[in-house]
């Protein structure tokens, strides 16, 4: 009987040990699986955080690059505009010399008046000029009428010189910011509905605007 009891105890102990081993192995497997899951989850989180920060850095770099690029472009465009404006200002100052040669300027004024008359084609017009040019305009008025009448094959028009409102005076170094006019004339229909500005400044602006693409191409090799 004692031997049987010992055998039963040994059997129970063996089963208990085997069961304990199974539980231990199972627990270790579950622990390892859980550990792997935790590690994988953490790795995924770390990768996501790394990707997020990397993306933030890339976006920041792109923004900084874009800002710098735009700033550079603005500087280049500003420099180009300054250069073109400088050319325009230089040309405008050169216009002041045109009126210094009285003989040439007198002929030019007559040509400008005739050109206005041909554009307006009005029997009666109002003429405005600089006050300093009044005597020149008065001296060539009749010749201008005759030249226009001959070219247009019409009767000589009536030209009334506005002696109350003049075009701005020439540019002055004492007050360079005030309105100025380099010369020329402005003619208008009697009712004021049609106006033809034929000043040297207006002609320069028109020519400069027309030639601006060519000027830019020559300057910047666009």
DSSP for 130-193?
A: BGGGHHHHHHHHHHHHHHHHHHHTSPPPEEEE-SSS-BPPPP-SSSTTS----SEEEEEETTSS
pLDDT in tens, 144-163: 999 999 999 999 999 999 99
- In angstroms, the CA 7 to CA 45 distance is 56
Whether the pLDDT of residue 1 is over 70: the answer is no
Q: Which residues pair with 158 in a beta bridge?
A: 124
Task: Give me the long-range contacts of 148-151 (CB less than 8 A, separation at least 24).
Answer: 148/113, 148/114, 148/117, 148/118, 151/114, 151/118
Task: Classify strands 158-161 and 124-129 as parallel, antiparallel or unpaired.
Answer: parallel
Record the pTM. Answer: 0.63
Rounded to the nearest integer, the mean pLDDT of the chain is 88
Pick the CATH number of 99-218 from 3.30.2320.30, 3.30.590.10, 3.90.79.10, 1.10.3450.40: 3.30.2320.30
**97 vs 119, more confident:** 119
Structure tokens at 6: 């010992």
Q: What is the pLDDT of residue 144?
A: 97
pLDDT in tens, 55-70: 999 999 999 999 999 9
- In angstroms, the CA 220 to CA 80 distance is 8
> Any idea what the Cα angle at residue 69 is, between residues 82 and 220, rounded to 5°?
40
- 174 touches 103 (CB < 8 A): no
């Amino acid at each position: 009987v004692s031997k049987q009891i010992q055998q039963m105890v040994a059997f129970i102990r063996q089963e208990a040990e085997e069961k304990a081993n199974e539980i231990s192995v199972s627990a270790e497997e579950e622990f390892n699986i859980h550990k792997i899951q935790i590690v994988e989850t953490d790795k995924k989180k770390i990768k996501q955080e790394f990707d997020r920060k990397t993306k933030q850095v890339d976006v920041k770099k792109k923004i900084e690059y874009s800002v710098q690029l735009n700033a550079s472009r603005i500087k280049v465009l500003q420099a180009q505009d300054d250069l073109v404006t400088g050319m325009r200002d230089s040309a405008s100052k050169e216009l002041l010399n045109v009126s210094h040669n009285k003989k040439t300027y007198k002929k030019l004024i007559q040509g400008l008046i005739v050109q206005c008359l041909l554009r307006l084609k009005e029997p009666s017009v109002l003429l405005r000029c600089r006050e300093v040019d009044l005597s020149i305009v008065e001296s060539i008025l009749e010749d201008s009428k005759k030249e226009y009448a001959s070219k247009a094959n019409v009767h000589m028009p009536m030209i009334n010189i506005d002696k109350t409102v003049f075009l701005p005076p020439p540019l002055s170094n004492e007050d360079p910011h005030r309105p100025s006019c380099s010369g020329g004339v402005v003619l208008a229909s009697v009712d004021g509905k049609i106006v033809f500005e034929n000043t040297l400044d207006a002609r320069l602006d028109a020519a400069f605007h027309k030639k601006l693409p060519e000027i830019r191409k020559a300057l910047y090799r666009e």
